[in-house]
């Protein structure tokens, strides 16, 4: 079936760059785009007129929350309060348990994937918190999530997260990592079995990748084994690293090198590596405050970074700076990392932070950020058929309405959406030619049910923090309200 979608604004692609077309259309059949332009006159089976809307490539979120978000709880705490959000040494040694049942974990995944669809994400790589799991992510959980993802129609790059260590607070109050190397080896074995499972599905929307946890939670042998598996199978690896001073100190103490040097030593620093955050390179003011070669090392390796500007800002840090990384030749993709999975708000945060860091309004690279959300993600995934609206590319597209009075005036539709809107304005989402969302509705999904279920699961997660806290403090003390709450 051939479908034609028209909109006031279409972000097309010409000679390797996005271009803006006005009063234009996208025509697709099967899973690929046939035409992008103004004057298509051939026969079509279906037409959709979006009016005052921006039609653009589907957004690619490579650090996409597939969990009930914890940032709403823990992004307000000082260093001492934050210790209560980690596992205690006693919990690690004696009382580890799953907060959620296997059924509840699947419900959490579906709740989160629905959120991705509603916010215009068409391709994602998942992230979930291991803090409320007995260890990390079992194979069965990701097998189930893959089926949910297929049912909803998202394009996923999936695998169970694994680790050989856990960030803990020791009895003396210090932060450290405690290890169980066997669990790490078991986790990698499960990740490889999932890759085999994904291959066996023969579904282009399910792609197996390696998703180890944070770099400080992997022992040296597990890092090397991950690098070897990635090379042997030619699969991508995403590894959270270069994201904090505690991580940097732990790696320096344990290995005598920086996290970036460790990535290189174990064989991970190459074009198959995706690094979420990458905010703590040598140019960061909290490290050295000057470029001593980290950016060139990243660029020369071919690795991609996953910039998560909104989440970084909410935890009090930022990339220093987007333009410096871009100018160094590093491929930049984007992630949301926390709730909401709103890359429009994320781009806005990144653009404004870049201005502040540079002390100049022209440092806000709007085009660079939209490129990162589309072309940068496609490059990281080694998928030149994603992230662009052009003939022959995958029919992955999303439209954001700009027709509400509250959207304000139209100057450039990208700036209007960025400054005045959010990804909640998504009115159409298509993945590989399948329409998965129209006007905020997903076929077969009861959003009111999932709103209630999400709250129920969140409340259970919040209560469980007390059992892991070194002081076993109640949740209301670990997460104090903005104002005192008076009981009726």
Confidence (pLDDT) at 385: 98
> Across-strand partners of 19?
12
**Residue 277 belongs to a domain:** yes
Place of tokens 């291991």: 130
Confidence (pLDDT) at 78: 87
**Residue 127 belongs to a domain:** yes
Whether the CB-CB separation of 99 and 460 falls below 8 Å is answered with yes
**Residue 41 belongs to a domain:** no
Ranges of residues in the chain with a pLDDT under 70 are none
Three-state SS for 465-479 is: HHHHCCCCCCHHHHC
Number of domains into which the chain is organized: 1
- CA-to-CA distance for 149 and 293, rounded, in angstroms? 40
**List of residues 6+ apart from 413 with CB closer than 8 A:** 8, 9, 20, 54, 402
Whether the CB-CB separation of 136 and 160 falls below 8 Å is answered with yes
**Residue 13 belongs to a domain:** no
Give 373-418 pLDDT, tens digit per residue: 999 999 999 999 999 999 999 999 999 999 999 999 998 999 999 9
**Residue 352 belongs to a domain:** yes
Confidence (pLDDT) at 485: 86
Q: Which has the closest alpha carbon to 479: 113, 85, 200, 133?
A: 85
Nearest 5°: the CA angle 423, 103, 82 is 60
Q: How far is CA 81 from CA 169, 232, 247, 353, 470, in A?
A: 12, 43, 18, 27, 11
Place of tokens 């980290």: 294
Confidence (pLDDT) at 466: 93
- CA-to-CA distance for 467 and 195, rounded, in angstroms? 34
**Residue 245 belongs to a domain:** yes
**Residue 395 belongs to a domain:** no
Confidence (pLDDT) at 82: 84
Range of the domain at 302: 58-383
Give 248-302 pLDDT, tens digit per residue: 999 999 999 999 999 999 999 999 999 999 999 999 999 999 999 999 999 999 9
Cβ burial 241-261 (10 Å sphere, 16+ → b, else e)? bbbbebbbebbeeebeebbbb
- CA-to-CA distance for 101 and 70, rounded, in angstroms? 18
**Residue 75 belongs to a domain:** yes
CATH classification of the domain holding 140: 3.20.20.140
């Amino acid at each position: 079936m051939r479908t034609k979608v028209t909109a006031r604004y279409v972000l097309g692609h010409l000679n390797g760059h996005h271009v803006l077309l006005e009063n234009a259309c996208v025509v697709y059949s099967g899973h690929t785009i046939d035409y992008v332009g103004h004057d298509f006159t051939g026969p079509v089976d279906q037409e959709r007129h979006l009016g005052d809307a921006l039609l653009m490539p589907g957004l690619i979120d490579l650090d996409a929350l597939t969990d009930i978000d914890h940032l709403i709880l823990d992004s307000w705490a000082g260093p001492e309060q934050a210790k209560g959000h980690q596992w205690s040494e006693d919990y690690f040694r004696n009382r580890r348990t799953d907060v959620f049942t296997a059924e509840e974990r699947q419900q959490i995944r579906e709740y989160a994937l629905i959120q991705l669809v509603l916010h215009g994400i068409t391709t994602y790589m998942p992230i979930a918190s291991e803090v409320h799991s007995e260890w990390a992510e079992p194979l069965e959980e990701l097998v189930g999530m893959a089926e949910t993802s297929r049912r909803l129609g998202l394009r996923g790059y999936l695998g169970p997260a694994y680790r050989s260590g856990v960030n803990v607070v020791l009895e003396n109050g210090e932060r450290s990592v405690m290890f169980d190397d066997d669990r790490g080896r078991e986790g990698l074995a499960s990740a490889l079995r999932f890759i085999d499972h994904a291959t066996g599905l023969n579904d282009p929307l399910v792609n197996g990748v390696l998703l180890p946890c944070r770099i400080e939670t992997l022992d040296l042998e597990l890092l090397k084994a991950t690098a070897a598996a990635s090379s042997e199978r030619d699969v991508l690896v995403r590894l959270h690293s270069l994201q904090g001073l505690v991580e940097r100190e732990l790696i320096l103490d344990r290995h005598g090198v920086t996290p970036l040097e460790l990535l290189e030593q174990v064989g991970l620093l190459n074009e198959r590596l995706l690094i979420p955050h990458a905010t703590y390179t040598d140019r960061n003011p909290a490290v050295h405050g000057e470029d001593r070669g980290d950016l060139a090392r990243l660029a020369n390796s071919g690795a991609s970074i996953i910039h998560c500007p909104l989440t970084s800002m909410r935890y009090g840090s930022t990339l220093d700076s987007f333009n410096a990384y871009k100018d160094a030749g590093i491929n930049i993709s984007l992630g949301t990392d926390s709730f909401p999975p709103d890359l429009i708000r994320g781009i806005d945060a990144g653009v404004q932070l870049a201005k502040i860091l540079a002390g100049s309004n022209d440092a806000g690279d709007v085009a660079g950020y939209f490129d990162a959300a589309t072309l940068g993600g496609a490059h990281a995934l080694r998928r030149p058929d994603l992230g662009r609206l052009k003939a022959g590319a995958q029919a992955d597209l999303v439209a954001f309405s700009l027709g509400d009075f509250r959207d304000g005036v139209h100057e450039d539709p990208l700036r209007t959406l960025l400054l005045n809107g959010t990804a909640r304005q998504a009115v159409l989402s298509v993945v590989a030619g399948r329409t998965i969302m129209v006007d905020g509705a997903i076929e077969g999904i009861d959003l009111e049910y999932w709103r209630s279920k999400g709250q129920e699961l969140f409340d259970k997660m919040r209560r469980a923090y007390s059992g892991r806290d070194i002081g076993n403090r109640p949740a209301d003390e670990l997460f104090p309200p903005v104002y005192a709450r008076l009981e009726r």
